[in-house]
Chain A
Amino acid sequence: MTATEAVVQTESRRSPPRRGGPPQRSDGRALRRSPLASVGLHAALIMASFIAIFPIFWVLVTSFKPDENALETTPKLINEPTVNNYSEVLAGDFGPFLTWFGNSLLIAGLTTVIGVFISATTAYAVSRFRFPGRRSMMLSFLVMQMFPFVVLIVPLYNLLLTFGLQGSVIGLVLVYCTTAIPFCTYLLKGYFDTIPIDIDEAGRVDGLSPFGVFWRLILPLARPGIAVTAFYAFLTAWGEVGFASAFLSGNSEGKTLAVGLQSFVSQTQVLWGHLAAASILIALPAVVVFYLVQRSLVSGLAAGGVKG
């Protein structure tokens, strides 16, 4: 699952007003589905779920097999199960895994914090204030999304070199921010637009400064939008390989996890078991972040403030 898909999925999870139960017509009566349609629908959904889940499941299975047994002509679910792959990866037998882990966490964390802060303030300004260049700014954000990021590597490399940031963590964080912020700004602007402007004005009359309104009223009310944005920004940085391998220093200590993963693949062999174990370890933080974030994805947080 790519980051964008994840966001789209979490967004759509938020939108239906009611969960479970048969779909209802506007008059409240349940729609009757024919048995055949029911079977077909479930079969299709099970098939789709299987296609989505199986590769990940197989990586998990493979991570417990010794490298030699990982690829077999007749695959078996369990074949000499062992946790050696995990212990060796964590012990640093194939490079400083924990250092990479720390680097990734630092870079993704910084991208999330900086990206969310900048895109939230930008989105609020665009949502609430009229200023020259407002439309063209949003338009340029949209245009930037249309570029394949690979073509940006060379110009960004030159820019980072000029500013003396090539090879540094902060340089890579800034690069990630440039890709995350335009999209996050769009996402959050849409969210802020749904918060009635009367609430801003009530806050100002009650004694808040414009920044106070943003910080104490709008941000708490936009929690679901912020959560999605944060998750997107995190994923942008967490699994990315291209920019990370180009812009981080060449030495082994400076790599991120996604880059470090390549050390399991040499010219002569691929250590499938270890590669799978490392992949599972890499996926865990993303799962944790998603778990933390999805609790904020509640709809109707801003309901009740104004007469609808």
Chain B
Amino acid sequence: MAQVAYRKASRIFPGSPPVRAVDQLDLDIADGEFLVLVGPSGSGKSTALRMLAGLEDVDEGNIEIAGQDVTNVPPKGRDIAMVFQSYALYPHMTVAQNMGFALKLRGVSKDQIQSKVQEAAKLLDLSELLDRRPKALSGGQRQRVAMGRAIVREPSVFLMDEPLSNLDAKLRVETRANIASLQRRLRTTTVYVTHDQVEAMTMGDRVAVLESGLLKQVGTPAELYERPRNAFVAGFIGSPAMNLKTVPLTADGAKLDGLTVPLPREVLDVAAEQGLSSVIVGIRPESLRVASEGENGMELVVELVEELGADAFVYGTVRIAGDSQRFTVRVEGRSSPKLAETVKVTVRDSDDLHAFSPETGERLG
């Protein structure tokens, strides 16, 4: 077990202009922590992980594992284990040989390898499959073998590169829980890459959000959800996504169609300081509700209703300053509005609003 640190680490792919796939990444990962790197495709999350693995060069800055600078250490000297998106099992070896390969290379005795492989196999429910080859395994079983290969080594850091993206939806949820609980039991520092923000929120102790090679925010899932530091994180975390609209700013707050939502004093102060005439408001679907009779609200034309049982998501458009803008609203499951209906919606609690600068995308206040 060990802590991991990125110190202004960059990976620059040559080209014209050169691409900064990972740009000055500064990140500390505590001993035993489960950190999730999340971002859309091309955000540099996989590259960041591969830099830690030693499979990708570090062009600027450095990387430390357990306090040791490993920037120029080859993968085999880093005491890490990696689970690949494609699993990358050795096709010519049995499951047991796949799992024991790293130990064999380290010169561990045969008896010891066997007992460790069996221990890990029991943990992952692979005991029956030890003599099979990868060809004869299902997708879920291959995934577990890839996990087993990592566990057997007892490395100081686990690296996982989208290990669930090749599984079907049901198996993915199941395996997600298994990996998280396994990590809590082993307490091995883990860096986990995913593009799926649900995976990120449910598995990680902390989540780091990347976009275009830049670290946008790092924090616990709750912090990211409740206090996103910029419009990108606000829009990326949460499902369905937060409603983010650029609207004019008045003395009291943000002006939506037929509804002025009050913004906290400090937000207005910061906006005035920066001389902003408009602001990006962020309202989560659950922060909106259908207005009661006689109440002010935005007129939402319903385009789609997603019934989920207990509640429903209503997708529709609102005309703001002549443009029609899409909004998502969460409503009670039984009383959901009908298609093409026009409903008035209002804000549940103005404390749940987020405001960002339209120029920088940074949080105001």
Contact = CB atoms under 8 A, between A and B. Distances in A.
B55 A204 contact: yes
A304 B135 contact: yes
B96 to A, nearest CB: 15
B314 to A, nearest CB: 38
Contacts of B90: 199, 202-203, 217, 305
B148 to A, nearest CB: 13
Contacts of B137: 304
B105 A208 contact: yes
Given A202-B82, A204-B75, A206-B102, A305 B55 contact: no
Interface string B215-246: 00000000000000000000000000000000
A304 B75 contact: no
Contacts of B86: 196, 198, 306-307
A221 interface: yes
Contacts of B134: 304-305
Interface in A202-234: 202-209, 212, 217, 220-221
Given A202-B82, A304-B135, A307-B86, A209 B76 contact: yes
A205 B80 contact: yes
Contacts of A212: 105
Contacts of A206: 76, 81, 101-102, 105, 149, 153
A198 B85 CA distance: 9
Nearest to A197: B88
B133 A204 contact: no
A205 B52 CA distance: 11
Contacts of B84: 198, 201-202, 306
B136 interface: yes
A205 B139 contact: no
Which of A199, A202, A207, A221 has the most B CB atoms < 10 Å from its CB? Answer: A202
A212 B90 CA distance: 14
Given A199-B88, A302-B91, A305-B88, A204 B74 contact: yes
Interface string A170-206: 0000000000000000000000000010110111111
Contacts of A77: none
B87 A307 contact: yes
Contacts of B53: 201, 205
Interface in B105-137: 105-106, 133-137
A67 B86 CA distance: 66
A51 to B, nearest CB: 40
B89 interface: yes
A284 to B, nearest CB: 32
A204 B76 contact: yes
29 contacts: A196-B88, A198-B84, A199-B91, A201-B75, A201-B84, A202-B90, A202-B149, A205-B54, A205-B75, A205-B80, A205-B81, A205-B82, A206-B81, A207-B76, A208-B76, A209-B76, A212-B105, A217-B90, A220-B92, A221-B92, A301-B92, A303-B91, A304-B91, A304-B133, A304-B135, A304-B136, A304-B142, A307-B85, A307-B166
